[in-house]
Chains A and B, each alone.
Chain A
Amino acid sequence: DAGITQSPRHKVTETGTPVTLRCHQTENHRYMYWYRQDPGHGLRLIHYSYGVKDTDKGEVSDGYSVSRSKTEDFLLTLESATSSQTSVYFCAITEQGSSPLHFGNGTRLTVT
């Protein structure tokens, strides 16, 4: 798993509550990404980071924010969780921005 840890692995939360997912890497890679996987949609990019404090939006960024204060940690926050954010969330890292992605094992989030 290329030294990537996602936490928690599973979470159930209620609509309207804030949720933070964590991605921790031990590879010292510059690039980190958050994806969500949903049936019928494949993997879609939420946000990505190209360095400490350098982040940008992906395809499905509405309702999500990210922070990267250290090279090894990339946090994804759902500001006010909605049922449409029930999904499996994957973190990925790469050393270079166009190299194949190395994924973590995912966080399954259920918003009730």
Chain B
Amino acid sequence: DQQVKQNSPSLSVQEGRISILNCDYTNSMFDYFLWYKKYPAEGPTFLISISSIKDKNEDGRFTVFLNKSAKHLSLHIVPSQPGDSAVYFCAASGGANFGNEKLTFGTGTRLTIIP
């Protein structure tokens, strides 16, 4: 039972345009969400997080939006750059005070930025 779903296995976006990666979750107890980025032959790296007390968190070109009623979050990358080509994992847990042992990952979306 996949509690965190990334329904788009892949996404291609023109350089300079906006990339939108989506993530849905089913567990209503989840209230802390993270995005990780992974390049080939490397480990994932933390990108950005959001807790359920907010509906938006921004860090440079990266913004995460959380819609609690829809159990949906999205990562926006503006403008998209070739170095953004990677696999993006969404992850969720029962709260910022809960340990990583409770973290559930999605299956990932491969983003390709077309020059």
A residues lining the B interface (CB < 8 Å): 1, 4, 31, 33, 39-45, 48, 50, 56, 58, 90, 92, 94, 97-106
Contact = CB atoms under 8 A, between A and B. Distances in A.
A101 B105 contact: no
Contacts of A43: 44, 89, 91, 105
Interface residues of B, number: 24
Contacts, number: 64
B100 A94 contact: yes
A45 B103 contact: yes
Contacts of A92: 43, 100
A60 B49 CA distance: 25
B93 to A, nearest CB: 8
A56 to B, nearest CB: 7
A108 to B, nearest CB: 9
